[in-house]
Amino acid sequence: MGESLWQTEAVNTGAVVAIVVVVVLLLVALVATGLVLSRRRRISLSDSADRTPSDGTRQVDKSGGYKAGSGFSFTQGAGTATAEPPSRDMPTIERTDTDGQPGVGDDAAIPRDAPKRGLRNVPLPEPKTAEPESRPHAPEAATPPVEAPSAEPEVVPDTRPEVVPEPEVVPEPEVAPEPEVVAPEPVTPEPVAEPDPAPAGPVLDDIAPTAGRLGLLRGRLSRSQNALGKSMLGLLGAGDLDEDGWEEIEGTLLMADLGTAVTTAVVDRLRTELAASPVRTAEEVRALLRKVLIAEVGPDLDRAIKALPHAGKPSVLLVVGVNGTGKTTTTGKLARVLVADGRRVLLGAADTFRAAAADQLQTWAERVGAEVVRGKEGADPAAVAFDAVARGIDEGVDVVMIDTAGRLHTKTGLMDELGKVKRVVEKKAAVDEVLLVLDATTGQNGLAQAKVFADVVSITGVVLTKLDGTAKGGIVFHVQRELGVPVKLVGLGEGADDLAPFEPEAFVDALLG
What residues line the site for ligand GTP (CB under 6 A)? 321, 323-329, 351, 357, 406, 465-466, 468-469, 491-494, 498
Q: How far is CA 60 from its chain centroid?
A: 10
Q: Is 454 annotated as a binding residue?
A: no
* CA–CA gap between residue 79 and residue 83 (Å, rounded): 7
* CA–CA gap between residue 269 and residue 354 (Å, rounded): 48
Taking the complex as a whole, how short is the minimal distance between the CB of residue 144 and ligand GTP, in angstroms? 37
Tell me the pairing of strands 371-374 and 65-68: unpaired
What CA–CA distances, in Å, run from 138 to 192, 240, 342? 22, 58, 4
Tell me the pairing of strands 399-404 and 315-320: parallel
Nearest residue to ligand GTP, using CB?
491
Taking the complex as a whole, how short is the minimal distance between the CB of residue 291 and ligand GTP, in angstroms? 28
Q: How far is CA 344 from its chain centroid?
A: 8
Residue closer to ligand GTP by CB (options 205, 494) is: 494
Taking the complex as a whole, how short is the minimal distance between the CB of residue 364 and ligand GTP, in angstroms? 9
Q: Is 405 annotated as a binding residue?
A: yes
Taking the complex as a whole, how short is the minimal distance between the CB of residue 327 and ligand GTP, in angstroms? 3
Residue closer to ligand GTP by CB (options 366, 498) is: 498
Q: Is 324 annotated as a binding residue?
A: yes
Q: How many CB atoms lie within 10 A of CB 21?
A: 10
Angle between helices 475-483 and 443-456 (to 10 degrees): 30
Residue closer to ligand GTP by CB (options 231, 465) is: 465
Q: Is 468 annotated as a binding residue?
A: yes
Q: Is 163 annotated as a binding residue?
A: no
Taking the complex as a whole, how short is the minimal distance between the CB of residue 221 and ligand GTP, in angstroms? 14
Taking the complex as a whole, how short is the minimal distance between the CB of residue 487 and ligand GTP, in angstroms? 13
Residue closer to ligand GTP by CB (options 290, 407) is: 407
User: Among 299, 292, 277, 298, which residue's Cα sits nearest to residue 228?
Assistant: 292
Residue closer to ligand GTP by CB (options 249, 492) is: 492
Q: Is 466 annotated as a binding residue?
A: yes
Q: Is 327 annotated as a binding residue?
A: yes
Query: What kind and span of H or E run contains 245?
Result: helix 243-255
* CA–CA gap between residue 340 and residue 138 (Å, rounded): 7
Residue closer to ligand GTP by CB (options 72, 118) is: 72
Q: In what order do the strands lie in the sheet with 371-374?
A: 371-374, 345-350, 399-404, 315-320, 433-439, 461-465, 487-491, 499-501
Taking the complex as a whole, how short is the minimal distance between the CB of residue 395 and ligand GTP, in angstroms? 25
Taking the complex as a whole, how short is the minimal distance between the CB of residue 496 and ligand GTP, in angstroms? 10
Amino acid at site 484:
G
Taking the complex as a whole, how short is the minimal distance between the CB of residue 300 and ligand GTP, in angstroms? 26
Q: Is 321 annotated as a binding residue?
A: yes
Q: Is 404 annotated as a binding residue?
A: yes
Residue closer to ligand GTP by CB (options 425, 467) is: 467
What CA–CA distances, in Å, run from 239 to 5, 31, 92, 234, 282? 130, 92, 62, 10, 10
Residue closer to ligand GTP by CB (options 103, 326) is: 326
What CA–CA distances, in Å, run from 21 to 16, 25, 180? 9, 6, 18
**DSSP collapsed to 3 states, 437-489:** EEEHHHHHHHHHHHHHHHHHCCCCEEEEECHHHCCCCCHHHHHHHHHCCCEEE
Residue closer to ligand GTP by CB (options 389, 408) is: 408
Binding positions for GTP: 321-328, 403-407, 465-468
Binding positions: 321-328, 403-407, 465-468
